[in-house]
Structure formats: structure tokens, C-alpha cells
Amino acid sequence: MKYEVLTYGNGALRTKSKTVEVVDEDIKALALDMLETMYAAAGVGLAAEQVGRDEAIFVVDILPAPDGHQYRERFTEDEIKMPLVAINPEIKERSGECIYKEGCLSFPGITANVTRPESVVLEYTDLEGKRQTLQLQGLLAEAIDHENDHLDGVLIVDRMSAVQKVMHKSKLKKLMRMNK
């Protein structure tokens, strides 16, 4: 089942996620529905908040770009299987800093420069209910930091510089109005 992706101004995006107690059939179904929703919207990541749910889950799939491999060459962790479904994720370490031109399915038509860690250590529960640890770099680290923010109710607008906010002021206002 495909969800509608909520956009900036919808209060659900500001809620904090709740810990998933058991990885049961309902959680697995939610994860699959989130993947379906993300792929349909041509996104590379989606958090439960963005579809109006409050479980601590996000999904990420960084696929090669249709015109080549502009995504793949940004990281070399070939052992990391995509899509990544992270339940109860926790970022244990962040190091370095990179500025990324970032978009978000909840901010259609907006891309903004956002500072993210260069690498992260992510702990999460997988769909089998097993706790996993991954060290991630580059675009994957950026994506995970972005999705993890969603689970705390934090959005790219909170990470924009004052200049970026001014630049995107009218688009942000428009989104806000659509959600009134």
C-alpha cells in the first residue's frame, strides 16, 4: 500500500518517534509500504513520520542514478545491502563535516545546502529483529543523518542557514499554506 507523503507544515512531521517493541508482521508490512511509497516518489530515503506514522523506522535506498553511477561512486561499502530498513536507529558516532545539496520528499521543489557528518556509526534493528551496526560514509552517512532527524521531528528547514531560509522563503510559505 502506497502512502501519501506529508509535506512541510503538517504537524505529524514534528512528532517524535516511538520505539518499536517487537518486529512483527505489522512492522514488516509498514516497512514494505514505506519502500513502495519511497520508490513511487523517486526518493532515496523516507521516515515513518513522513507518512503519518510514529514508529521509529526509516528506509533508505541509494540506487545508481539512471544516467550513470553518480550515487554509487560516492561510497564504497559494497557489503551494505540496499534497501536499508532501520528500526529503532541510533547514531552512535558522527565524524567530519560535509555540505550536501539536499532535498526531502516533504519539501517538494526545494534543495538546500545542509551540513552533515562525513561518516556515522549507525546501530539499528533489522527486519529479522536483530541489532546491527554499520559504519557509513559519504552520501549514505548524509541520508542516514537526514532520516534520523525525521524521527526526532527535525527537518531540513531547521538545518538551513539564515541565507538559505531567505532564499527559500516563498516556497516554504507556500508549503505551509497548503497544509493549513
Cα separations in angstroms, 14 against 10, 117, 121, 156, 161 = 8, 22, 25, 12, 19
Binding mask 131-160 for Ni ion (x = CB under 5 A): ------------------------------
Q: By the 8 A CB rule, do 112 and 168 touch?
A: yes
Q: How far apart are the first and last CA of the chain?
A: 26
Phi, psi of 114, deg, nearest 5: -130, 135
**Kind of pairing between the strands at 112-116 and 98-102:** antiparallel
Does residue 51 belong to the site contacting Ni ion (CB under 5 A)?
no
Does residue 110 belong to the site contacting Ni ion (CB under 5 A)?
no
Does residue 114 belong to the site contacting Ni ion (CB under 5 A)?
no
CB of 169 to Ni ion, least distance (A): 19
Active-site option among 55, 102, 142, 147: 147
User: 147 catalytic, yes or no?
Assistant: yes
Residue whose Cβ sits closest to Ni ion:
104
Instruction: Count residues binding Ni ion (CB under 5 A).
Output: 1
Does residue 59 belong to the site contacting Ni ion (CB under 5 A)?
no
Nearer to Ni ion, 31 or 104 (CB): 104
CB of 122 to Ni ion, least distance (A): 16
Which DSSP helix (H) or strand (E) runs through 29? Answer: helix 25-40
Measured CA angle at 106 (ends 105, 107), to 5 deg: 90
Does residue 104 belong to the site contacting Ni ion (CB under 5 A)?
yes
**Kind of pairing between the strands at 119-125 and 57-60:** unpaired
Nearer to Ni ion, 62 or 104 (CB): 104
Judged by CB under 5 A, the stretch of 82-90, 104-112, 114-122, 166-174 that binds Ni ion is: 104-112
Q: By the 8 A CB rule, do 147 and 46 touch?
A: yes
Catalytic residue numbers, as ranges: 147
List of residues contacting Ni ion (CB under 5 A): 104
